[in-house]
Amino acid sequence: MEEEIKPIRQQQRRLNPTILDVVKKEVTKLLTARNIYPISDSQWVSPVQVVAKKSKMTVTKNQQDELVPIRIQNSWRATCKDHFPLPFVDQVLEKLSGKSHYCFLDGFLGYMQIHIAPEDQHKTMFTCPFDKFAYSRMPFGLCNALSTFQRCMISIFSDLLQDCMEVFMDDFTIYANSFDACLESLSKVLRRCIDTNLVLNFEKCHFMVTEGIVLGHLVSNRGIEVDKSKIDIITSLPNPTSVREVRSFLGHAGFYRRFIKNFSKLALPLSRLLQKDVDFNFDQPCIEAFQDLKNRLTSAPILQAPNYDQPFELITRSCPRPKSYSRPTYASCTMDPAQQNYTTIKKELLAIVFALDKFRSYLLGSRIVMFFDHTALRYLLKKLDAKPRLIRWMLLLQELNIKIKDNKGVENSVADHLSRIEREEYLMPIRDQFLDE
């Protein structure tokens, strides 16, 4: 706990009869499993928070007789923060994609497999209409529960990570390029679970499969794909009727923005509705953007994990696609008012700087081939009297191994057609007579 923090006591919340019956069943189950115990009193008091339970690989609606986990709400201000990091989702997916066989394991009541120190158990006291209870094992809702659990899982499987498995909280994924190798890795993981008394949830485990859902994405030997079950929910949504619904839709669609080319441009009419002092008017451009994003999600491409043995090809805006083209990801952003006033050449360079900064972890130490819309950019990089902004951008480019390729006009099939229309020329006679001053 933080120093000089006084105990925090929160009021008990009202529960309707349906939820009250669910809480009673859950408390009885936790008492039977000895995960909680009655406590006389404590200076730390938290209310119960009932949340929906995830069953198997789909989210089910909670009925009256269905158990849901109870989470306590402790004050994050009173807790010393544990900054143990979680793995990056995109790196986990890229590591798993392209394999032939997988095993997906799930920890049983993940957090509650970790004991709480006896001297700290009274701080987890929660109240309900039946009694006051404290946890003997780590529950959901604690400030540092996520970091603590991830650290424990990393310490258990440290020698197997980056070799045959990935760990993200209580989701363990085993991968291999052959059935026998995957089976051997599964034996190692299960043996480690037995040695450390780590319990798995058999109902949520899948063994020796060729594809599966990981962190909201479908991974297989084909690559990384969107989760169709989540996409079906998004595509069935009606037109938003409030700013809150627009924000919710953009949040869900933005989770898969790496699959959508020009996501920021497509979502611009919807993003404008989120601006301050803007009246909500879901007009025709918003309807078209809403439907277009849903259509793009249903036809999202399959992304491939990057191959670091090959050079990366950076393509901005309307550059033609190379023949040996493989999509690791898409990225886009919206220019602010100042950037919108840039010249065309500076906007093109801004797009390249954004891409290099966005994918710096991929590009640093790798060969990069950049395709430009404007040949003038090549000479702009050699400009001696450049302004500070351009100097900063040039310094960013110089730390990378970059090869520049210009696009010929005949190859740029998506360039502005109007600028290439041939027009008849009208020759005007040269005037050699002028009026006297």
pLDDT, tens digit (0-9, with 9 covering 90-100), for 168-202: 988 899 999 999 999 999 999 999 999 998 989 88
- Compute the distance between CA of residue 319 and CA of residue 377 in angstroms, rounded to an integer: 14
Residue pair 185/164 in contact by the 8 Å Cβ criterion: yes
Q: Cα Rg for the chain, rounded, in angstroms?
A: 29
The whole-number pLDDT of residue 414 equals: 40
Distance CA 78, CA 134 (A): 18
Torsion over CA: 213, 216, 220, 226 (sign): positive
Alpha helices in 36-171 (DSSP H): 89-96, 145-156
User: How high does pLDDT run on average in the chain?
Assistant: 78
| Widest pairwise Cα distance in the chain | 111
Of 223, 255, 275, at which residue does a domain stop?
Answer: 223
Residue 431 lies in a domain: no
User: What is the tally of helices (H) and strands (E) in the chain?
Assistant: 14, 17
Token readout for 275 is 């601006």
Please give the share of the chain, as a percent, with pLDDT higher than 70.
78
- Contact present, 288 and 295 (Cβ < 8 Å): no
Residue 425 one-letter amino acid: E
Has residue 133 got a pLDDT over 80?
yes
Please give the DSSP secondary-structure letter assigned to residue 227: -
Q: Is residue 144 within 8 Å of 66, Cβ to Cβ? A: no
Least confident segment among 232-246, 342-356, 406-420: 406-420
Specify the pLDDT at position 408: 56
How much of the chain, in percent, has pLDDT values that exceed 90? 16
Among 254, 278, 299, where does a domain finish? 299
What's the confidence (pLDDT) of residue 178? 93
Looking at the fold, whether 218 and 98 belong to one and the same domain comes out as yes
| pLDDT recorded at residue 25 | 85
Residue that is last in its domain, among 161, 194, 223: 223
Domain-embedded: residue 121: no
Range of the domain at 164: 89-114+143-223
Residue 233 lies in a domain: yes
State whether 211 and 289 are in the same domain. no
pLDDT above 80: residue 431: no
Please check the confidence at residue 417 and state whether its pLDDT lies above 50: no
The pLDDT of residue 105: 93
Distance CA 74, CA 386 (A): 54
Q: Which of 58-62, 170-174, 227-231, 332-336 has the lowest average pLDDT?
A: 58-62
Q: What's the rounded Cα separation, in Å, for the pair 240 and 234?
A: 12
Question: Mean pLDDT, to the nearest integer, of 3-21?
Answer: 75
DSSP string spanning 11-62? Answer: PPPP--HHHHHHHHHHHHHHHHTTSEEE-S--S-BEEEEE-PPEETTEE---
Answer whether residue 46 is part of any domain. Answer: no
- For the stretch 26-53, pLDDT in tens is 888 888 888 888 888 777 777 777 776 6
Residue pair 217/226 in contact (Cβ under 8 Å)? The answer is: yes
Q: Which residue has the higher pLDDT, 43 or 152?
A: 152
User: Binning pLDDT at 50, 70 and 90, where does residue 427 land?
Assistant: low
* Total residue length of the chain: 437
Tokens of 269: 């009419």
Using alpha carbons only, what angle is made at residue 230 by residues 225 and 234, rounded to the nearest 5 degrees? 115
Contacts of 344 (CB under 8 A, 6+ apart): 374
Q: Which two tokens stand for residue 309?
A: 């043995």
Same domain, 219 and 94: yes
Higher-scoring residue by pLDDT: 354, 288: 288
CA distance 369 to 401: 9
Strand-pair partners of 345: none
pLDDT at 57 over 80: no
Query: In terms of domains, do 341 and 380 share one?
Result: yes
Residue 122 lies in a domain: no
What's the CATH code of the domain at 94?
3.30.70.270
For the entire predicted model, the pTM comes to 0.71
Candidates 70, 28, 35; CA nearest to 49 is 70
Using the predicted structure, report yes or no on whether residue 9 has a pLDDT greater than 80.
no
Between residues 5 and 314, which one has the greater pLDDT? 314
Residues 243 and 337 in one domain: no
DSSP state of 333: -
Are residue 322 and residue 264 in the same domain, yes or no? no
Give the mean pLDDT of 383-394: 74
Indicate whether 161 and 240 sit together in one domain: no
Dihedral pair phi/psi, residue 71, rounded to 5°: -115, 140
Cα–Cα distance for residue pair 393/350, rounded to 1 Å: 8
On whether both 190 and 218 belong to a single domain, the answer is yes
Task: Classify residue 33: in a domain, yes or no.
Answer: no
Count of domains forming the chain? 3
73-87, 152-166, 271-285, 294-308: the lowest-pLDDT one: 73-87
Report residue 387 as tokens.
Answer: 């302004």
Q: Please write the tens of the pLDDT for every residue from 224-257.
A: 998 888 888 888 888 988 999 999 899 888 888 8
Judge whether residue 5 has pLDDT over 90: no
Pair (272, 347) in one structural domain: no
148/235 same-domain check: no
Per-residue confidence band for 166, with pLDDT thresholds at 50, 70 and 90 = very high
User: In whole angstroms, what is the distance from residue 7 CA to residue 387 CA?
Assistant: 56
DSSP string, 362-426: HHTTSEEEEEES-THHHHHTT-TT--HHHHHHHHHHHTSEEEEEEPPTTT-TTS-SGGG------
318 CB-side CA count, 13 A:
13
Whether residue 385 is contained in a domain is answered as yes
Higher pLDDT, 9 or 70: 9
